[in-house]
Structure 1
Amino acid sequence: MRRVFLGVDCGTQSTKVVLRDGVTGGVVAVGRAPHELIERDDGTREQDPAWWIDALRIAVRDATRGERFDIGGIGVSGQQHGLVCLDQSDRPVRAAKLWNDTTTARECAELTRTLGGESRVLELTGNLLLPGYTGPKIAWLATHEPDAYARTVRMCLPHDYLNLWLTGEFVTEAGDASGTAYFDVRARHYSDAVLAAIDATRDWTRTLPPIAPSLNVVGTLRSEAAEPLGLDGGVPVSAGGGDNMMSAIGCDVVTPGPVAVSLGTSGTAFAYRDRPAVDPLGEAAAFCDSTGGWLPLTATLNCTSVTEWVRSLFGMDHADVDAAVASEGARGLAFLPYLSGERTPNRPEAAGVFVGLRADHGRDVIVRAVVEGVTFGLAYGLDALHRAGVAPTEVTLVGGGSASDAWAQLCADVFGLPVVRPTIVEAAASGAARQAQWAVEAKRPGLAPAASRRFEPRPRPVLREAAERMAALREMSRANQL
Structure 2
Amino acid sequence: MYLGLDLGTSGVKAMLIDDSQRIIGSASGALDVSRPHPGWSEQDPAEWVRATEQAIAGLKAAHPAALAAVRGIGLSGQMHGATLLDADDKVLRPCILWNDTRSFREAAALDADPQFRAVTGNIVFPGFTAPKLVWVRDNEPEIFARVRRVLLPKDYLRLWLTGEHISEMSDSAGTAWLDTANRRWSESLLSATGMEERQMPALVEGTDAAGTLRSELAAGWGISGDVVVAGGAGDNAASACGMGTVGEGHAFVSLGTSGVLFAANASYLPNPASAVHAFCHALPNTWHQMGVILSATDALNWYSGIAGRSAADLSTELGETLKAPGGVTFLPYLSGERTPHNDAAIRGAFAGLGHESSRVVLTQAVMEGVSFAIRDSLEALRAAGTTLSRVTAIGGGSRSRYWLKSIATALDLPVDLPADGDFGAAFGAARLGLIAATGADPVATCYAPKTAETIAPEAGLVPAYEEAYQRYRRLYPAIKGATT
TM (normalized to structure 2)? 0.93
Counterpart of 1:399 in structure 2 is 395
Q: Structure 1 CA distance, aligned partners of 2:448 and 2:102?
A: 42
What SS does the corresponding residue of 1:464 show, helix, strand or coil?
A: helix
Structure 2 residue 306 is matched with structure 1 residue 310: no
- 8 A Cα contact 1:132 1:343, kept in partner: no
Match of 1:309, SS state, is helix
Structure 2 unaligned blocks of 5 or more: none
Give the Cα–Cα distance (whole angstroms) in 1 for the partners of residues 58 and 472 of structure 2.
43
Alignment match, 2:238: 246
Q: Does 1:149 align with 2:149?
A: no
Q: Which runs of 4 or more aligned residues in structure 1 lie more than 4 Å from their structure 2 counterparts after TM superposition?
A: 227-233, 446-449, 477-482
Q: 1:476 aligns with which of 472, 475, 478?
A: 478
CA shift in 2, pair 1:403/1:227, >3 Å: farther
In the other structure, the counterpart of 1:130 is: 125
**Which of 1, 12, 16 in structure 1 is aligned with 2:13?**
16
How many matched pairs? 471
Structure 1, unpaired ranges of 5+: none
* Structure 1, 288-297 or 470-479: larger mean CA deviation: 470-479
More deviation, 146-155/136-145: 146-155
Amino acid at match of 1:438: I
What residue in structure 2 maps to residue 381 of structure 1? Answer: 377
Distance between the aligned counterparts of 2:288 and 2:197, measured in 1?
26
Cα shift readout 1:396-420 (whole Å, capped 9, x = no counterpart): 1111111221111111111100000
Contact 1:220–1:233, Cα closer than 8 Å, also in 2:
no
Contact 1:330 1:366 in 2 (8 A): no
Letter in 1 for 2:370: V
Please state whether the residue corresponding to 1:68 is helix, strand or coil.
Answer: helix
- Give the conservation status (yes or no) of the 8 Å contact 2:405–2:456: yes
Displacement of 1:335: 0.8
Structure 1 position 175, deviation (Å): 0.9
Question: Aligned equivalents of 2:22 and 2:122: distance in 1?
Answer: 36
| In 1: Cα distance, 2:298 partner to 2:224 partner | 37
Comparing 128-137 and 279-288, the one that deviates more:
279-288
CA gap of 1:300–1:270, structure 2 versus 1, over 3 A, is same
Match of 1:271 in 2: 263
Residue of structure 1 in register with 2:73 after alignment: 74
Q: Aligned runs of 1:299-378 on 2, under 5 Å? A: 299-317=292-310, 318-324=312-318, 326=320, 328-344=323-339, 345-378=341-374
Instruction: Write the deviation string for residues 48-101 of structure 1: whole angstroms up to 9, x where unpaired.
Output: 111111111111222342421111210010000000001122121111011111
Q: Give secondary structure in 1 for the equivalent of 2:249.
A: coil
CA shift at 1:41, angstroms? 4.6
Larger deviation: 149-158 or 413-422? Answer: 149-158
User: Residue 310 of structure 1 aligns to which amino acid in structure 2?
Assistant: Y
1:398–1:424 contact (8 Å) kept in structure 2: no
- Would the aligned equivalents of 2:246 and 2:446 in 1 still touch at CA under 8 Å? no
Deviations 1:412-463 (A, max 9, x none): 1111000001134151000000111112221232658545211000131432
- How far does residue 234 in structure 1 lie from its aligned partner after superposition? 2.6
What letter matches 2:301 in structure 1?
E
Q: Spell out the pairing of 1:255-294 with structure 2 (5 A cutoff).
A: 255-292=247-284, 293-294=286-287
User: Are the counterparts in 1 of residues 244 and 449 from structure 2 also a CA contact under 8 Å?
Assistant: no
Q: Structure 1 residues 358, 232: closer, same or farther in 2, change over 3 A?
A: farther
Aligned-pair identity in percent equals: 36
CA distance in 1, matches of 2:72, 2:48: 20
Distance verdict in 2 for CA 1:89–1:282, change over 3 Å: farther
Distance in 2 (alpha carbons) for counterparts of 1:255 and 1:337: 31
Query: Tell me, what secondary structure is at the counterpart of 2:207?
Result: coil
Establish whether residue 189 from structure 1 lines up as the match of residue 188 from structure 2: no
Task: Please say if residues 74 and 436 of structure 1, whose CA atoms lie closer than 8 Å, have aligned partners that are also in contact.
Answer: yes
Cα offset, 1:471, TM superposition:
0.4
Report deviation, 1:324.
1.9
Please tell me whether the aligned partners of residues 7 and 433 of structure 1 are also in contact (alpha carbons under 8 angstroms).
yes
- What are the residue-to-residue correspondences of 1:30-41 with 2, within 5 Å? 30-41=26-37
User: In 1, distance between residues paired with 2:71 and 2:417?
Assistant: 29
Structure 1 230/313 Cα, relative in aligned 2: closer, same or farther at 3 Å?
A: farther
Instruction: Determine whether 1:89 maps to 2:81.
Output: no
Distance 2:411 2:221 in 1: 43
Checking the alignment, whether the CA contact within 8 Å between 2:228 and 2:436 is kept in structure 1 is: no
The 8 Å contact of residues 273 and 294 in structure 1, kept in 2 or not, is answered as yes
Task: State the Cα distance separating 1:123 from its structure 2 match.
Answer: 1.4
Distance change in 2, residues 1:230/1:282 (3 Å): farther
In the alignment, is the contact (CA less than 8 A) between 1:126 and 1:185 conserved in 2? yes
